[in-house]
């Protein structure tokens, strides 16, 4: 049996959009589930639309997500995997189509065509370059002797024929060929277009299943015709449902990203013209597996209640039959919830590693893994992102900056300054001579101290919290004292004392 081969064929005309990442993901899951191959091919024939660095952005995004192609620009025996490097391959097929009269040369320039289109429009009609109009136009079918440089080559769509296509999600679809345009296969600059290159490459790369976005369905009959003309077996096709923006109106686009505050790229993108930077899911703190989990559910649902899947679990559960027909709405809150759940399901060792990386980026080096693990275990349930673990525990790694007016206010210093200072000195004394890690003894000391000094225990804790955290927030005071070294505790208390003089 022919092995299962799928491909992701992005055009490097901009950064990788999460809609396209979903297409890559579905192809990847399908390939991995069925022990097939996942191929990456760059469709870079449209020179005018190419954008520098987008290829890199696509490659890096896939890499970050762990979607690694089995074949692609770097390896594989069906290459080259960039269409711009396959021009020599296409030549033979163009010749064949012309010879068989499945294609013809057309001589109109862009301007000519615009003029014709406008004339039709003026008469309230839509211009389609095909069997209904081509006999009155300037092409090799009417004037075969005419040899012109810069001619385009068009597909000769047969007149009044029913073209049948089959999409495994939608079943059979029939289209009357009179509605189809004789698509340009080779542009006047000699470059082939998507329509032709895509079909030739899928065939030569032995693609068995084509899974792509619904936005490509209009070119499906054209591709079907090309397969027929070449007498090639058509791969199995599936067009994925659209991803709608969070308000459910229209496709999730780059514009929504700004208007609706929805991140749209996996990784940040620096616009080479405007020089603005748009942050991606990675920079915003999302896990790649959470992004993939969210994307998988945009158009796919295996049934059941389970909603949190690792990439491995997605692979083992994936099946084309669970792909929905209807468009999927992007849910902004859902991705946060999914990230939260992924954070909870990570092992404490993984989280420790990630927290350490983030700390290092802030030039903070905390080498006691055991203590870090204890902090993480206490905090993680309140966090959706790794950076929140750090934000919520920063006082363990950095001495707080005390703010005098704030301290005056929360410690009611007008009234309690003297006693506060006294207490702080007594705590210093105690810490110097006792072991803070002996919980019972420490607790006894605090209660006795409060009693002796006739203050509420809650006020005593307030003083300690302000010294250690700088604010009235944070974990349990005994836990904080357990984690911080005695030396740090002393320094922080002294720090507060300094502000009381």
Q: Which residues contact 416 (CB under 8 A, 6 or more apart)?
A: 455, 459
* Shortest reach from residue 103's CB to ligand GLU, in Å: 20
* Shortest reach from residue 23's CB to ligand GLU, in Å: 7
**8 A C-beta contact, residue 425 and residue 453:** no
Say whether 329 sits in a helix, a strand or coil: strand
Pairing status of strand 243-244 against strand 328-329: parallel
Distance separating alpha carbons of residues 273 and 271, to the nearest angstrom: 6
* Shortest reach from residue 220's CB to ligand GLU, in Å: 10
> For tokens 């040899």, what's the residue?
147
* Shortest reach from residue 12's CB to ligand GLU, in Å: 9
Would you say 13 or 382 has its CB closer to ligand GLU? 13
Would you say 10 or 263 has its CB closer to ligand GLU? 10
Q: Which residue in 469, 439, 441, 443 sits closest to 457, CA to CA?
A: 443
| Phi (first) and psi of residue 489, to 5 degrees | -60, -45
Distance of CA 122 to the CA centre of its chain: 44
Distance separating alpha carbons of residues 258 and 150, to the nearest angstrom: 41
Q: Output DSSP code: residue 47.
A: G
Q: From residue 62, how far is each of 51, 58, 308 by CA, in Å?
A: 18, 6, 20
Would you say 11 or 393 has its CB closer to ligand GLU? 11
Would you say 80 or 302 has its CB closer to ligand GLU? 80
Q: Which residues contact 379 (CB under 8 A, 6 or more apart)?
A: 389, 392, 393, 475
Residue 267 neighbours by CB distance under 10 Å: 21
**8 A C-beta contact, residue 226 and residue 196:** yes
* Shortest reach from residue 366's CB to ligand GLU, in Å: 45
- The burial class, CB within 10 Å (0-12 / 13-18 / 19+), for 414 is exposed
* Shortest reach from residue 223's CB to ligand GLU, in Å: 8
> For tokens 């089995």, what's the residue?
70
Q: From residue 439, how far is each of 37, 370, 436 by CA, in Å?
A: 59, 18, 7
Would you say 82 or 334 has its CB closer to ligand GLU? 82
Residue of 53, 63, 87, 254 marked active site: 254
* Shortest reach from residue 97's CB to ligand GLU, in Å: 19
Would you say 16 or 423 has its CB closer to ligand GLU? 16
**8 A C-beta contact, residue 260 and residue 233:** no
**Can you give the binding site for ligand GLU, defined by CB under 6 A?**
9-11, 43, 194, 198, 212, 216
Q: Is 187 a catalytic residue?
A: no
* Shortest reach from residue 215's CB to ligand GLU, in Å: 8
87-99 and 194-204 helices, crossing angle to 10° = 110
Would you say 9 or 252 has its CB closer to ligand GLU? 9
**8 A C-beta contact, residue 113 and residue 160:** no
Distance separating alpha carbons of residues 40 and 211, to the nearest angstrom: 13
Long-range (24+ apart) CB contacts under 8 A made by 431-437 are: 431/486, 431/489, 431/490, 431/493, 432/490, 436/481, 436/482, 436/486, 436/489, 437/482
Would you say 43 or 182 has its CB closer to ligand GLU? 43
Would you say 38 or 194 has its CB closer to ligand GLU? 194
* Shortest reach from residue 71's CB to ligand GLU, in Å: 15
Which positions are annotated as active-site residues? Answer: 254
């Amino acid at each position: 049996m022919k092995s299962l081969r799928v491909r992701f064929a992005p055009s490097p005309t901009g950064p990788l959009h999460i809609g396209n990442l979903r297409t890559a993901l579905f192809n990847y899951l399908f390939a991995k589930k069925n022990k097939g191959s996942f191929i990456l091919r760059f469709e870079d024939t449209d020179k005018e639309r190419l954008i520098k660095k987008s290829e890199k952005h696509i490659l890096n995004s896939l890499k970050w997500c762990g979607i690694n192609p089995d074949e692609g620009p770097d390896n594989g025996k069906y290459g080259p995997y960039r269409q711009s490097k396959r021009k020599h391959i296409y030549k033979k097929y163009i010749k064949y189509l012309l010879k068989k009269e499945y294609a013809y040369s057309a001589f109109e320039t862009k301007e000519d065509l615009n003029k014709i289109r406008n004339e039709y429009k003026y008469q309230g009609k839509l211009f389609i370059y095909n069997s209904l109009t081509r006999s009155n136009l300037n092409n090799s079918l009417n004037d075969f002797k005419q040899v012109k440089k810069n001619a385009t080559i068009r597909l000769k769509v047969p007149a009044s024929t029913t073209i049948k296509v089959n999409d495994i999600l939608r079943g059979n679809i029939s289209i009357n060929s009179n509605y189809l345009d004789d698509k340009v296969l080779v542009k006047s600059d000699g470059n082939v277009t998507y329509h032709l290159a895509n079909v030739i490459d899928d065939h030569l790369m032995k693609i068995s299943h084509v899974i792509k976005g619904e936005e490509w369905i209009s070119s499906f009959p054209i591709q079907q015709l090309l397969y027929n003309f070449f007498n090639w077996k058509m791969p199995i096709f599936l067009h994925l449902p659209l991803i709608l923006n969070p308000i459910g109106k229209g496709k999730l686009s780059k514009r929504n990203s700004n208007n609706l505050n929805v991140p749209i790229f996996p990784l940040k993108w620096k616009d080479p013209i405007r020089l603005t930077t748009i942050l991606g899911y990675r920079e915003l703190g999302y896990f790649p597996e959470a992004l993939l989990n969210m994307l998988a559910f945009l158009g796919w649902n295996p049934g059941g209640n389970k909603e949190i899947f690792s990439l491995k679990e997605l692979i083992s559960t994936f099946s084309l039959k669970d792909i929905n027909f209807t468009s999927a709405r992007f849910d902004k809150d859902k991705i946060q919830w999914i990230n939260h759940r992924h954070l909870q399901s990570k092992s404490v060792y993984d989280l420790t590693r990630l927290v350490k990386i983030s700390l290092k980026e802030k030039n903070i080096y905390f080498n006691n893994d055991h203590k870090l693990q204890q902090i993480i275990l206490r905090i993680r349930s309140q966090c959706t992102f790794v950076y929140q673990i750090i934000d919520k525990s920063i006082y363990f790694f950095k001495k707080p900056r005390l703010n005098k007016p704030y301290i005056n206010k929360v410690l009611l210093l007008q009234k309690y300054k003297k006693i506060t200072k006294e207490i702080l000195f007594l705590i210093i004394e105690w810490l110097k001579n006792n072991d803070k890690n002996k919980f019972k003894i420490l607790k006894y000391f605090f209660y006795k101290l409060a009693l002796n000094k006739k203050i509420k225990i809650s006020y005593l804790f307030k003083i300690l919290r302000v010294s250690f955290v700088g604010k009235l927030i944070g974990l349990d005071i005994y836990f904080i004292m357990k984690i911080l070294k005695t030396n740090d505790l002393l320094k922080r208390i002294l720090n507060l004392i300094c502000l009381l003089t």
